[in-house]
Amino acid sequence: MYSIAVIGAGYWGPNLVRNFRSNPAWDLVAVCDLDEQRARKVVGTRSTVEVETSVERLLARDDVDAVAIATPARTHAPLALAAFEAGKHVLVEKPLADNAETAAVMVSAAEAAGKVLMIDHTFCYTPAVQYIRDTIASGQLGDVLYIDSTRINLGLVQPDVDVFWDLAPHDLSILDFILPGGLRPSDVTAHGADPLGAGKACVGYLDLPLANGAIAHVNVNWLSPTKIRQMVVGGSRRTLVWDDMNPAQRISVHDRGVDLRTQAVDAAVQREAVTVSYRMGDVVVPALKEAEALAGVATEFAAAIEAGRAPLTDGRSGLRVLSVLEAASASLASGGTVPVVGLPGVEPELVR
């Protein structure tokens, strides 16, 4: 069992507290927040979990092996760097940082300290997304030809970020998790609209070229009267559909598609014709257990520390997502396609 403290008792902190408290791999020893009363409310009246109001005092404790950070993005880097210096492992709420360059510093610092840096890409620990990852890796779908992801709802217009930074991190982190080798597009093309006059994109589309001529398309929207959470992964053999709003059939795998065959029609002039045939096979709906994703996050964090390995969603994963988001913002500003490139002074493999 490892000991952990949660820093931040606001929106996401209580969820982390609940899951680390109930996980047999962890001993939750403290909750730290500048607002002592808020922290005490999260801890509860009949609890042995201590309340701290000083990060410095918390990190100086020798009974804390790791910290989980659930504070505003701009504070993630200073808190994580201080934790590494104090010899603690770190789990960070998404996004990893408020910009990719700072995130790269966090990744380098974790590696230099020999500590685990994990990003809380929660969707990656749902049974559905883990099934998608395993199915792609097994080759059941064949070569991935396209991925179409839709995340739309009648949502709150955020005061500090546009719809890309609010919703797309979920889709990008999932793509990074399910694609072999992670999300490594050469460039990004973003299109956004602000029909409300909010001063930021409220509707957005991202196009990302993938390996071997494949493409990923991400649709995010704050203005839709219906809530849709759907991803279609088209393969050369089968197509997988994930509908997160349908608990009775979250995943369906379709043995349906298009087969192209090229045949010679005039050998003398080397002309060829393409014949199209449609494959109409079975639809398989796997039985998936329901499990809280954050419980999987807590378990993976402990397992990575125990094994001395990178977690499934490590700091580099968070960095890749941030790099794509920054390229999307640049594309939106310029109105064109923007390459996803390395950062000055940072090893290229940390980004790509």
Domain boundary among 243, 260, 284: 284
144 strand-pairing partners: 235
pLDDT bin (cut points 50, 70, 90) of residue 230 is very high
Tell me: do 165 and 115 sit in the same domain: no
Task: Compute the distance between CA of residue 43 and CA of residue 37 in angstroms, rounded to an integer.
Answer: 10
Domain boundary among 257, 284, 311: 284
Tell me: do 313 and 240 sit in the same domain: no
Place of tokens 């790509």: 352
Tell me: do 130 and 72 sit in the same domain: no
What does the pLDDT read at residue 325? 96
Tell me: do 232 and 215 sit in the same domain: yes
Domain boundary among 265, 284, 303: 284
| Angle, CA 184 vertex, CA 343 and CA 304 arms, to 5° | 90
- Least Cα distance to 42 among 16, 80, 68, 66 occurs for 16
What is the pTM for the complete model shown?
A: 0.89
pLDDT tens, position by position, 96-131: 999 999 999 999 999 999 999 999 999 999 999 999
What does the pLDDT read at residue 278? 64
By CB atoms closer than 10 A (0-12, 13-18, 19+), residue 277 is exposed
What does the pLDDT read at residue 45? 83
Do residues 90 and 7 make contact, with C-beta atoms less than 8 angstroms apart? no
Tell me: do 67 and 110 sit in the same domain: yes
pLDDT at 352 over 70: no
Tell me: do 224 and 269 sit in the same domain: yes
List Cβ<8 Å contacts ≥24 apart for 207-211: 208/175, 208/183, 208/324, 209/185, 210/144, 210/147, 210/179, 210/185, 211/181, 211/184
pLDDT tens, position by position, 2-57: 999 999 999 999 999 999 999 999 999 999 999 999 999 999 988 899 999 999 99
315-334 and 163-178 helices cross at what angle (nearest 10)?
130
234 strand-pairing partners: 146, 239
CATH number at 78 reads 3.40.50.720
By CB atoms closer than 10 A (0-12, 13-18, 19+), residue 261 is exposed
The number of folded domains in the chain is 2
Tell me: do 117 and 145 sit in the same domain: no
User: What are the backbone dihedrals phi and psi of residue 79, each rounded to the nearest 5 degrees, phi first?
Assistant: -70, -45
3-state secondary structure of 22: helix
Tell me: do 331 and 255 sit in the same domain: no
Tell me: do 275 and 254 sit in the same domain: yes
Tell me: do 116 and 133 sit in the same domain: no
pLDDT at 92 over 80: yes
What does the pLDDT read at residue 209? 96
- Overall average pLDDT of the 147-155 stretch: 96
CATH number at 168 reads 3.30.360.10
- Overall average pLDDT of the 181-201 stretch: 94
pLDDT at 272 over 50: yes
pLDDT tens, position by position, 294-308: 999 999 999 999 999
Q: Which domain holds residue 16?
A: 2-123+293-351
Tell me: do 33 and 181 sit in the same domain: no
Task: Compute the distance between CA of residue 266 and CA of residue 249 in angstroms, rounded to an integer.
Answer: 49
What does the pLDDT read at residue 282? 84
- Least Cα distance to 20 among 64, 53, 54 occurs for 64
pLDDT at 276 over 80: no
Tell me: do 25 and 173 sit in the same domain: no
Task: Compute the distance between CA of residue 317 and CA of residue 133 in angstroms, rounded to an integer.
Answer: 15
Mean pLDDT check: name the lowest of 2-11, 250-259, 299-308, 309-318. 250-259
281 or 286, greater pLDDT? 286
Mean pLDDT check: name the lowest of 11-20, 56-65, 308-317, 336-345. 336-345
